[in-house]
Amino acid sequence: LLDILAARKEPRVLYENVWVHEVPHPDNFQCNSGYVVQDDVVMSTLTVRENMWFSASLRLPTTMSKKRKNKRIKKVIEKLGLCEVADSK
């Protein structure tokens, strides 16, 4: 299910349409969501913040400014309760 929602697998094998929050799955849903599969490993040489930056650089639009990306990363770190370890490897 997560693979289909994150557009990592084609939903064409399904017999039904994919819906999210009672509306059809938007084409850009994978740009606004993400998950880490269990075998996916973050870079142990980077800090939490640096790993977030790396992920954000791959997922967020290139038109988004560095300042906005940094604000988004800061918000995610706060929401996850990682402020105290954000600059730790």
Q: Is residue 29 scored above 90 in pLDDT?
A: no
Q: Is residue 58 scored above 80 in pLDDT?
A: yes
Q: Is residue 41 scored above 90 in pLDDT?
A: no
- Helix (H) and strand (E) counts in the chain: 3, 2
d(CA 9, CA 33) in angstroms, rounded, equals: 14
Task: Return the bridge partners of 19, or none.
Answer: 24
Q: What per-residue confidence (pLDDT) applies to 28?
A: 73
* 75 in Cβ contact with 66 (< 8 Å): no
Mean pLDDT of 64-80: 95
pTM of the model: 0.56
pLDDT level of residue 63 (50, 70, 90 thresholds): very high
Task: Domain ranges for the chain, please list them.
Answer: 1-40, 42-88
* 14 in Cβ contact with 27 (< 8 Å): no
